[in-house]
Amino acid sequence: MNCYVSLPFLLGLAQLCPCHTDMTNSKMHEMRQPLQSHMRAKRTWVWHNFFVQEELTVPEQPVGRLRSNLDKGDASLIYLLSGDGAGSIFIIDNRTGDITAIKKLDREEKAYYKLRAQVLNVNTGKPVEPESEFVIKVLDINDNKPQFLDGPYETRIPEMSPEGTSVIQVTATDNDDPSYGNNARLIYTLLQGRPYFTVEPTTGILRISSQMDREAKDQYLVVVQATDMLGLPGGLSGTTTVTINLSDVNDNRPIFQLGLYHMNVSESAPVGTSIGIIMAEDSDIGENAKMNYSIEDGSHIFDIITNNETQEGIVVLKKKLDYEQQRQYSVRAKVTNSFIDEYFPKDENSGQTTIIKIRVEDADEPPVFSHLEYLMEVAEETPFGSYVGSVFARDPDVTNSPIRYSVVGCSLFSIDDNGTIVITERLDREMAAWYNLTVTATEENNLQQVSEAQVYVHVLNVNDHAPEFFQYYETYVCEKANPGEVVFYLQTFAIFIFDLCDLFFSFTLL
């Protein structure tokens, strides 16, 4: 047993020394005087406080002596002991009044014992002193190490928290006597966790000593030790762990995976076509990693839609393209965080940009007419092969394929490879005044590329008919009829003449 464990025992023995049988009568008288002032007049017991050290393994441990000042040392008196542990833990020498502990004691189990003392005359068996109660205190030794009853601990703090931020308080308990020496006085230290954490020695409050980045490391394991005896040599210690998780703050901006993206799109692609995908990365998590994409230069031809599930930017077509007009576009795309908090660097709130190069691919497009509709006029009775009008179509592609023309569904007109329309039969306005022609233009290099245009032909009237009566009329007149008298009424008839080539018809009154 080391000197620190023996110290309380020595102190207890020092307190018991005045009751030792070697004490002189004068000294006993001096010790008795202050006690007698608190006793009843007949009480003549002589003792001081009794102490016994816990955990001693010696067979018998002297506790102290009960003594009556009526005891002349002639063996005429006997001492009796009753109460807590009398006979099982504590025994008394009936003749001398010496009390001895015969079992090892544990202060944490029972800190004191209340006993009663009685002194009897051997010859008469009657008490010579009133029965008196006294206490035997169990002296503490440092036999309990500190324990963290609430450990292990786990907590969460935001990353990049400033130095000095309180993380958590850990508390250890020591079952030793806090009122006796330093057995239960604790000091906290860190066994693991530096340089990011410190612990206050007397409170157990864990604090941040260096800023931490979740993206570099998101969890720390700290080991805290509590040592009694104020950390002096011979003290006992216990440990606990604190798991510290770092929660995310928005301290990272999104960054494009590439500084330049290349994409292709056909000029025939319809509006809304997805052209390609751009992607930025954000080291943060959760809402702090959500992004928005946009076109920075305000392009009216392209747009970017943010996919909230994948956090990708989808480049889409907003307007039809023409390869022959512009073959390449360069747009600047921008990405920003959807949520910005106080940790986000102020000079980076504008987000990051990247360049998208979009190449327009040529598509084999059908011929394009100079007009969607044509209006032409031709006089009736014009000879076969007479000129009616002309149409024009071109191949918008770079290949500039030659064009073939044809008239669909009407044999009264024909068209040559120059787009010139002529009549193939004489036209009679009285039979049809209008013709609606469908003219097609076909590329010679690709017969699948065909376009149509509508041609409306108006047949002009010429004076090619003499008046005719519908029938032969025969009438009679009286021989004595007067001049100017009505002889007969001629009736008019409606003649309907239908168009032979299309939906138009003429109506003529004669």
Tokens of 107: 């202060």
Give the whole-angstrom CA distance, residue 332 versus residue 323. 21
Verify that 259 and 240 share a domain, yes or no.
Answer: no
Tokens of 51: 């102490």
pLDDT at 33 over 50: no
Does 145 map to a domain? no
Does 177 map to a domain? yes
Verify that 305 and 399 share a domain, yes or no.
Answer: no
Mean confidence (pLDDT) of the chain: 82
Verify that 343 and 469 share a domain, yes or no.
Answer: no
DSSP state for residue 470 in the 8-state scheme: S
Does 76 map to a domain? yes
Angstrom CA distances, 255 to 21, 249, 353, 433, stand at 91, 17, 8, 71
The 10s digit of each residue's pLDDT in 248-269 is: 998 888 999 999 999 999 988 9
Last residue of a domain, which of 139, 169, 185?
A: 139
pLDDT at 111 over 80: yes
Verify that 383 and 259 share a domain, yes or no.
Answer: no
Does 50 map to a domain? yes
Angstrom CA distances, 374 to 370, 382, 391, 471, stand at 9, 20, 8, 43
Give the whole-angstrom CA distance, residue 407 versus residue 77. 152
Give the whole-angstrom CA distance, residue 405 versus residue 421. 10
Verify that 12 and 71 share a domain, yes or no.
Answer: yes
Last residue of a domain, which of 139, 166, 196?
A: 139
The confidence band for 496, taking pLDDT boundaries of 50, 70 and 90, is very low
Verify that 374 and 355 share a domain, yes or no.
Answer: no
Average pLDDT over residues 473-496: 66
Give the whole-angstrom CA distance, residue 198 versus residue 194. 7
pLDDT at 239 over 50: yes
Does 147 map to a domain? no
φ and ψ of 373, to 5 deg: -135, 145
Verify that 22 and 127 share a domain, yes or no.
Answer: yes
Does 117 map to a domain? yes
Verify that 377 and 510 share a domain, yes or no.
Answer: yes
Q: What is the pLDDT of residue 476?
A: 75
Query: What total of structural domains would you count in the chain?
Result: 4
Verify that 397 and 483 share a domain, yes or no.
Answer: yes
Does 146 map to a domain? no
φ and ψ of 5, to 5 deg: -75, -35
Does 509 map to a domain? yes
The 10s digit of each residue's pLDDT in 420-476 is: 999 999 898 888 999 999 999 999 888 888 999 999 999 998 876 667 767 777 777
Domain that holds residue 350: 255-361
Verify that 159 and 273 share a domain, yes or no.
Answer: no
Q: Are 441 and 403 in contact (CB under 8 A)?
A: yes
Last residue of a domain, which of 345, 361, 377?
A: 361
- CATH number of the CATH domain containing 426: 2.60.40.60
Give the whole-angstrom CA distance, residue 294 versus residue 277. 13
Verify that 398 and 505 share a domain, yes or no.
Answer: yes
Q: Which residues contact 346 (CB under 8 A, 6 or more apart)?
A: none
The 10s digit of each residue's pLDDT in 206-233 is: 999 999 999 999 999 999 999 998 888 8
Verify that 134 and 224 share a domain, yes or no.
Answer: no
Give the whole-angstrom CA distance, residue 273 versus residue 314. 10
